[in-house]
Amino acid sequence: MLLGNLPVTSANLLISIFSAFPSTLYFLMRFRNRSACLTFIALLFALLPAPAASQETSWKRDLATWRAKYVADLLKPDGWLSLTGLEWLQPGDNSLGSAADNKIHLAAGSPAHLAVLHLEGETVTLNPPPDGFPPDFLVAGSPAKPQPLRAEANNDKVSPHLTIGTLNMYVIRREARFALRIKDSRSPSIVGFDGLNWYAPDAAYRVTAKWIPYSPAKTITLATLVGTTYDQPVPGAAEFTLAGKTFRIEPVLEDPAVAKLFFILRDTTSTRTTYPACRFLYTGFPTNGLDKPGQLVLDFNRMENPPCAYTPFSTCPLPPPGNRLPIALPVGEKRYHE
């Protein structure tokens, strides 16, 4: 039989095509050579869409790759698991080092007196301790010297890094407050890391949303876990249907130069299995850009914990009221070590 060597599902698919288009079957019958006919069938299959099972396998593979990269980023020498301190600066001198007489205490093994951070108004200046900076103390990769340290509100990327040994530190600003963020590539969280907890992948929670642009974009004020607030632009809303109900959620645009939307979400799993405050979901831009109606894929399987789920020394935003969903999203990352 001509179709005898084909898988059952493939043969059934061809039979359906031939039934719908009898002329196709007549065309095949004109082939006198069996090999030529099979070649034609092979070409026909090459033009057919990939089977759903193959697409499912590809999606799971992509998700597994994303999860592996997410873990690798957490474990980087300056990743969130390296965070060991957040010291709020007081007006005047803030000395740092491992000695007991410092205002900011560093881990044992660090220099007894490393530096002095002087806060005056909205300026933080790096000054040497009485015996001078240690020779291996670097600021943005260069030997330390007295200098003002750049710190912009809620924009930590511009802050120069202060490094010595396994320590990596930088000044952050939250509203009118300044703090020294301390990271250690040999932190207990990195050394003792034993994995994250995830829900099983579920394609039902990968949905295509309708993108509704805002013209002009609006601005919302986000509260944080440390009691501060900051403003972020909201370019539009994503409207999607799940479990027979329609929901609308809003992302913020953290960096206009990066084609990425940032959703801060909470769902009803937060009372039992996921981090209570919120989870994060990052996506690309909608199909037609931010300023035109289009579509946006929301794969809730990629929901991740905020940094504050791993360390008490971060300043995470809380979800705006419209992003607190009254349904469960039992996918993505679960609570850390619970």
106-125 confidence digits (pLDDT tens): 998 999 999 999 999 999 99
Q: Are residues 181 and 110 in the same domain?
A: yes
Q: Are residues 200 and 182 in the same domain?
A: no
Can you read off the two tokens belonging to residue 57? Answer: 């396998």
pTM here is 0.80
Categorize the per-residue pLDDT at 338 as very low, low, confident or very high, splitting at 50, 70 and 90. Answer: low
% pLDDT > 90, the chain: 78
Q: Are residues 97 and 151 in the same domain?
A: yes
Q: Are residues 17 and 136 in the same domain?
A: no
Q: Are residues 187 and 218 in the same domain?
A: no
CA distance 96 to 129: 9
CA distance 73 to 193: 13
Helix (H, G, I), strand (E, B) or coil at 18: helix
**Cβ–Cβ under 8 Å, residues 93 and 323:** no
CA distance 265 to 277: 9
Q: Are residues 143 and 205 in the same domain?
A: no
Number of H helices and E strands in the chain, helices first, is 5, 17
Q: Are residues 143 and 185 in the same domain?
A: yes
Helix (H, G, I), strand (E, B) or coil at 140: coil
% pLDDT > 70, the chain: 84
Average pLDDT over residues 289-314: 96
The whole-number pLDDT of residue 154 equals 84
**Listed residues 173, 191, 209: the one ending a domain:** 191
* Opening angle at CA 64, ends 297 and 185, nearest 5: 110
Domain presence at residue 264: yes
Domain presence at residue 151: yes
The whole-number pLDDT of residue 56 equals 78
For 273, which DSSP code? T
Domain presence at residue 61: no
The whole-number pLDDT of residue 12 equals 46
Domain that holds residue 137: 80-191
Categorize the per-residue pLDDT at 34 as very low, low, confident or very high, splitting at 50, 70 and 90. Answer: low
Residue 96: pLDDT over 50: yes
CATH of the domain at 136: 2.60.200.20
Annotate 210-262 with DSSP letters as a single string.
EEEEEEEEEEEEEEBTTS-EEEEEEEEEEEEEETTEEEEE--B-S-TTS--EE
**Listed residues 159, 176, 191: the one ending a domain:** 191
Can you read off the two tokens belonging to residue 248? Answer: 């609308």
Domain presence at residue 53: no
Residue 177: pLDDT over 60: yes
**Listed residues 191, 209, 240: the one ending a domain:** 191
Bigger pLDDT: 40 vs 193: 193
CA distance 286 to 297: 8
Residue 237: pLDDT over 50: yes
Bridge partner list, 264: 280
Q: Are residues 219 and 175 in the same domain?
A: no
| HSE value, Cβ hemisphere, 13 Å, CA-based, for 133 | 20
Domain presence at residue 3: no
Q: Are residues 85 and 203 in the same domain?
A: no
H or E, element range at 72: helix 52-74
Average pLDDT over residues 227-239: 95
Can you read off the two tokens belonging to residue 219? Answer: 């601005």
Q: Are residues 211 and 229 in the same domain?
A: yes
Can you read off the two tokens belonging to residue 20? Answer: 């719908």
Domain presence at residue 58: no
Sign of the C-alpha dihedral computed for residues 289, 232, 312 and 79 taken in this order: positive
39-81 pLDDT, tens per residue? 544 544 444 555 556 777 899 999 999 999 999 999 999 999 9
CA distance 131 to 154: 34
Q: Are residues 84 and 163 in the same domain?
A: yes
Q: Are residues 200 and 317 in the same domain?
A: yes
Helix (H, G, I), strand (E, B) or coil at 297: strand
Average pLDDT over residues 128-149: 97
Domain presence at residue 74: no
Q: What is the mean pLDDT of the chain?
A: 88
Amino acid making up residue 255: D
| Phi and psi angles of residue 204, each rounded to the nearest 5 degrees, phi first | -65, -20
Average pLDDT over residues 243-264: 95
CA distance 82 to 190: 6
Average pLDDT over residues 227-241: 95
Bigger pLDDT: 126 vs 217: 126
Residue 27: pLDDT over 50: no
The whole-number pLDDT of residue 203 equals 96
Domain presence at residue 67: no
The candidate with the shortest Cα–Cα distance to 94, out of 105, 108, 110, is 105
Domain count, the chain: 3
